[in-house]
Amino acid sequence: MDRLVIASGNKGKIREIKEILKDLPLQVVSMKELGFIPEFDEKGATFSENAMIKAKTLSSVTEGIILADDSGLEIDFLNGAPGIFTSRFAGEGTSQEEKNNKIINLLKGIDKKYRTARFVCAIAVVSEDFSFTVEDSVEGIISEEPRGNAGFGYDPIFFVPEYGKTFAELPEEIKNKISHRAKALEKLKQKLSDIYFKNQV
């Protein structure tokens, strides 16, 4: 069985990726499980470029299929910010609560119709035989206050109108079907399945 290594230390993200890819004939492990904690120089101009930088960086120190993602929040009223700077939008070393509060404060008093946003996820895969990226997104609205205790990151302030809940209020099985990462992972899963079974013929 081939090994797929996730270039992330985020427990929530790793759990989500493992759950969605569990049906693939791959041994899915995180870089932390293997003892790798490389420094990623994310200087790309897009989510896809940053994902590929991370995947190639980890592939230089370990074997197997390397999976890396770069995801973030784009808010229309803020001209697409925080975008690729999502993780450090409120400054280095700030808590997620501080990051959420900064966005809430920036949109304070703004009408609901102008609070539109989306989560974007790009995933890069690198191996000796192939490399590619996939990308997808999910639309929502920035809530006026954090809601819910599930999920991670900006989930408590990302409201999904169709369900009347934030990502942090949705059951994991629903989030894992509609999230940006879930949708990108489904594209990835299809591509890897095609590649894997083609290679087994």
Query: What's the number of domains the chain is made of?
Result: 1
Element (H, E) at 13: helix 11-20
Q: How many CA atoms does the CB half-sphere of 76 hold within 13 Å?
A: 13
For tokens 């087994």, the residue is 200
Q: What is the pLDDT, as a whole number, of residue 150?
A: 85
User: Pick the residue with more confidence: 107 or 18?
Assistant: 107
Share of the chain above pLDDT 90, in %: 57
What's the domain range around 7? 2-200
Average pLDDT over residues 71-91: 92
Instruction: Summarize pLDDT for 19-38 with one digit per residue, the tens.
Output: 888 888 888 898 988 777 77
User: Which of 6-10, 62-66, 159-163, 175-179: highest mean pLDDT?
Assistant: 159-163
pLDDT at position 88 over 90: no
Average pLDDT over residues 187-198: 83
Instruction: Summarize pLDDT for 135-190 with one digit per residue, the tens.
Output: 999 999 999 999 999 878 899 999 999 999 999 999 988 988 899 988 999 999 89
Q: How confident is residue 198, by pLDDT bands cut at 50, 70 and 90?
A: low
N-terminal to C-terminal alpha carbon distance within the chain: 15
* Catalytic site positions: 70
With 0-12 / 13-18 / 19 or more C-beta atoms within 10 angstroms meaning exposed / middle / buried, residue 33 is exposed
pLDDT at position 199 over 60: no
We report the CATH number of the domain holding residue 13 as: 3.90.950.10
Element (H, E) at 5: strand 2-6
Q: Is 45 helix (H, G, I), strand (E, B) or coil?
A: coil
Q: What is the pLDDT, as a whole number, of residue 201?
A: 39
Tell me, letter by letter, the H, E, C secondary structure of 48-74. HHHHHHHHHHHHCCCCCEEEEEEEEEE
- For 145-185, the DSSP string reads S---SSS-TTGGGEEETTTTEETTTS-HHHHHHHSHHHHHH
